Amino acid sequence: MKSSKLLLWIMFAYCFITIFEIGLPAVIISGIALFMVLNYTLVRQTHLEEFNEAHNTQEHTDEVHSNTETLHKEEADV
């Protein structure tokens, strides 16, 4: 998420500079680019959260805990 905030600030600075250098067409194009960047990062974050929720079931958690306990018992026996 930190990289997307940095990218957002870079795009904001770019839009601000182009207002004075090039004019309205550059501002419009930059606005579209900014929207695309925001949309990509937000959609990507949403998909990552959905993926994590879908794969973070109680069954998987129990399996990890039992494997960890077995590993600790084996280490204690050695």
What's 22's DSSP letter? Answer: T
Residues 6+ apart with CB under 8 A from 1: 45
For residues 32 and 18, give the distance between their C-alpha atoms in angstroms, rounded to a whole number: 14
Instruction: Check residue 6 and give its pLDDT.
Output: 80
Q: What is the pLDDT of residues 27-42, one digit of tens each?
A: 788 788 888 887 777 7
pLDDT score for 74: 60
Number of domains in the chain: 1
Show the domain range for 19: 2-77
Kindly report the pTM of this predicted structure.
Answer: 0.35
The answer for residues whose C-beta is within 8 angstroms of residue 42's C-beta and 6 or more apart is none
